Amino acid sequence: MQILLILLVVAGGMGLSVEAGLLGPLGSEVGELWATFSIFGVGAALTFLLMLFFSPRNSPSFFAQPPLLLLGGVLGPVYVVILTLAAPAIGIAMTMIGILAGQVFKSLIIDHYGLFGTARRKIDVKRIIALLFIVAALVFMAKG
Amino acid sequence: MTILMIMLAVIGGATLSVQAALNGRLGSNVGVFRSAFLTFSVGALVTALLIFFFEPRHAVTLLDVPKWQLLGALCGVPYIVIMVLAVQRIGTAVATVAVIFGQLTMSVLIDNFGWLGNEAIALSNSRMAAIACLAIALFFIHSSSKVKTVA
């Protein structure tokens, strides 16, 4: 069961790369914004159905949430447009490693300052080492 | 050009982790599918507005391309569902490493064979070295997120 779930998560990660792989060529054909729109349009339709059938029935309204928490949808397109621009120029692997570097760097900062209501924790040495190796990986990738 | 694109990708990753932190909190208030729906529908609205005012005319539209090119969201949405199912059972540390492992394997494959209409980039020695560095990085990410969750 455990192994099956892990394989499923690996497949999920592969899906993310396939998504990036589809976006690049699509963006250069129809334009980056249209390619991004295709992701969010189809995604909105799918997640609407998921929400309709599988969400708990009495969850609180979006309008009861602090507006800051609702900004995910504004940040999403930034990420997808960047994927569409970067992937054809530097390859999928380097794009993914760059994304990973940004995530680790940012999560260090979010934890350190306790931004967005997360618990405040000191800078983690292990994640700094991880970030250094990710940067090394980027350098190797850039060498070709 | 390469450096600029790498910088862009890093900014993209930072944006993604801010988004993940916000959506994590929203998801625990209203449910994961609701927060995912909000992200996608607001994303679609914002992109539609940008298209109206800024997108130049293109000879090819979304309706002209082969349908398989429109399947990107069908690869992204299952990821959300899988994470919801898996994280509580296998833990964040294992899930994080498994996702990154899957991403890397697939992206190296797509690059190497030039799948999905991408330019082929052969798996060279320095690319192998990059993958080795990432394996080490994954080890440290794993051991650091055993105690806490990665955003």
**Rounded-to-integer distance, Cα A75 and Cα A108, Å:** 19
What are the tokens at A73?
A: 């949808």
**Residues of chain A contacting residue B124, judged by C-beta atoms under 8 Å apart:** 144
Three-state DSSP state, B36: helix
**Is there a contact between A100 and B101 (Cβ–Cβ < 8 Å)?**
no
- How close does chain A come to B135, measured CA to CA in Å? 9
User: Is B143 found in the same domain as B79?
Assistant: yes
**Rounded-to-integer distance, Cα B23 and Cα A76, Å:** 11
- Give residue A109's domain range: 2-143
User: Is B132 found in the same domain as B86?
Assistant: yes
Tell me whether B121 touches chain A (CB under 8 Å).
Answer: yes
User: Is B78 found in the same domain as B10?
Assistant: no
pLDDT at A98 > cutoff 60: yes
**Rounded-to-integer distance, Cα A109 and Cα B142, Å:** 18
Count of domains observed in chain A: 1
User: What pLDDT, in 10s, does the model give residues A7-55?
Assistant: 999 999 899 899 989 998 999 999 999 999 999 999 999 999 999 998 8
From B11, B37, B56, the end of a domain falls on: B56
Count of domains observed in chain B: 2
**Amino acid letter for position B134:** L
Report how far apart, in Å, the C-alpha atoms of B7 and of each of A88, A92, A95, B44, B53 are: 15, 15, 10, 25, 27
From B38, B56, B74, the end of a domain falls on: B56
**Rounded-to-integer distance, Cα B108 and Cα B114, Å:** 10
User: Is B24 found in the same domain as B88?
Assistant: no
**Rounded-to-integer distance, Cα A84 and Cα B92, Å:** 28
Of A96, A124, A144, the CB nearest to B107: A96
Question: Do B148 and A101 make contact, defined as CB atoms within 8 angstroms?
Answer: no
Residue with structure tokens 């490693």? A97
User: Is B70 found in the same domain as B110?
Assistant: yes
- Give residue B141's domain range: 64-151
Q: Chain B residue with minimal CA distance to A77? A: B43
Interface test with chain B among A59, A83, A103, A124, by most B beta carbons within 10 Å: A103
Query: A53: Cβ–Cβ under 8 A, 6 or more apart, which residues?
Result: none
- How close does chain B come to A13, measured CA to CA in Å? 4
Whole-complex ipTM: 0.85
**Is there a contact between A101 and A64 (Cβ–Cβ < 8 Å)?**
no
User: What pLDDT, in 10s, does the model give residues B85-134?
Assistant: 887 788 777 888 888 889 888 998 999 998 998 888 888 888 899 889 98
Q: Chain A residue with minimal CA distance to B16? A: A79
**Rounded-to-integer distance, Cα A122 and Cα A124, Å:** 6
